A and B are shown apart, each in its own frame.
Chain A
Amino acid sequence: MRTLAAIDTEGLFELIWTAPLAALVVTLTFALCIYGAARAGDSRRLGRTVAATAYGALAVVAAAVFAASVVFGVLIITSKD
């Protein structure tokens, strides 16, 4: 029992839900960035300007969220000392 009491269960559960969530958000935003960029290129070649613009905007927004999440991660690493 003493051994179990030593475990920081709150921190452990926080890790268990935050780590997958962060990983999935980063994966999702990067995949959306690739998807938007690829679809924007295809639409531009087919002459669908509106669709190309919309997919391009999706790619830009996703790239911005991805970059922000990377910076946020680095900030967490650097600020914890």
Chain B
Amino acid sequence: MDSDVILVIVIATALAFDFTNGFHDTANAVATSVSTRAMAPRTAVALAAVLNFIGAFISLEVAATIANGIVEADAITETIVFAGLIEAIAWNLITWYFGLPSSSSHALIGGVAGAAFVAAGPDAVLGDGLIEKVFIPALVAPLLAFATAAMAILLTYRIVGRLRPGPVNRGYRVGQIVSGSLFSLAHGTNDAQKTMGIIALALVAHGDLAAGADPLVLGDPLRGDRDRARDLLRRLADHPDDGQPDHQDGSGAGLQRAGRRRGRDPRREPPRVPAVDDAHDLRRDHGRGRGAPALRRAVGSRGQHRARVGAHRPRRGDDRAAAWGISRIFGEGALGAVIVSLCVVRPRRRRARAPPSAWARDHRRA
């Protein structure tokens, strides 16, 4: 029980660290866009927040490094994680107060490594991992960025330096929005996952996660959802659309029903789509029994689950292929699914209420 309370405190502290990290680092991504008036401050912060959020779900590399590559997970206790987090929060607040641009990542890693060093001895700190994944990048990144930016600005001045300032300023404002957005996305893939790694360490210390296990299991529920979504999109895209009304319901259930009616070889039927087929089976097995009207409302009169996006209205096969194709443009990660979802999910139109018929008016009066 006490251990559970400590775990909750550690996770709450980790989230508090993420909060300080947000107001500390988000400004870095959008500072140039705001200072050059490419974007309004609120718009810039909102954009950075959304892209950081998306970035957190795209990759899990940094979480793995924090959980497995810096300290020995076996030697870590919740108290060590808590001490590291408190140090990182304090550092973030102090540097924010004095307006110092500092790295939250290095503060966090230093805090956890220092606490582990004192509490569990030098063997608890993975020196190789610290050097390869923390010290070397910390040294190389500023120097490499300095040299690259110097070359880039020389190249830019060489090309656009003698042009009229109007078009150049307008163009580079757009460029700042693009670069700021990409910076926020990349920042999300890095910084947002530090906390995920720290929570993984706390779970190892609590005994909920095996030491040395892949910390990516924290992201497994999401990965499962996005994999299922991708499989569904792929299956819908693979189904041929022969133009029959039953085949245009966008869910694959019509295809299967048509296949059963025509006595096709079951081995040649399209692959099973779990949510749709489960709904169909539910209705087939229980639809005529008790509570059938409620079940019909939930499942739908055509054996489809109404909650599934797009399943309640006709949709052509090329739409499905386009959705899958667009999602594939952005790779096999979550980004494609997120973008397609944002395009597909829209507010439901309020259906105009038809005026009551003469028969209904007469009955109401009666």
How large, as a class, is the contact surface on chain A? 35 or more
A70→B172 contact, CB < 8 A: no
Contacts of A16 in B (CB 8 A): 140, 144
Q: Chain B interface mostly helix, strand, loop or mixed? A: helix
A8 within 8 A of B: yes
Contacts of A27 in B (CB 8 A): 152, 155-156
CA distance A2 to B152 in the complex (A): 37
Q: What 0/1 readout, one digit per residue, does chain B (328-341) give for beta carbons within 8 Å of chain A? A: 01111111100000
A23→B58 contact, CB < 8 A: no
Stretch at the interface among B161-169, B274-282, B284-292, B342-350: B161-169
B314 within 8 A of A: no
A81→B131 contact, CB < 8 A: no
CA distance A39 to B58 in the complex (A): 40
Nearest chain B residue, comparing its CB with the CB of A79: B331
Question: What's the count of A-B pairs with C-beta under 8 Å?
Answer: 104
> What's the least CB distance linking B250 to chain A, in Å?
26
A20→B147 contact, CB < 8 A: yes
Contacts of A33 in B (CB 8 A): 171
Contacts of A52 in B (CB 8 A): none
Contacts of B144 in A (CB 8 A): 15-16, 19-20
Query: Which residues from chain A sit less than 8 Å from chain B, CB to CB?
Result: 2-3, 6-8, 12, 15-16, 19-20, 23-24, 27-28, 30-35, 37-39, 41-42, 70-71, 73-75, 77-81
28 contacts between A and B (CB under 8 A): A2-B128, A6-B128, A7-B132, A12-B136, A12-B140, A19-B144, A23-B152, A24-B148, A28-B159, A31-B159, A32-B159, A34-B163, A35-B160, A38-B160, A38-B167, A38-B168, A71-B329, A74-B330, A74-B331, A74-B335, A77-B59, A77-B186, A78-B333, A78-B335, A78-B336, A81-B58, A81-B61, A81-B333
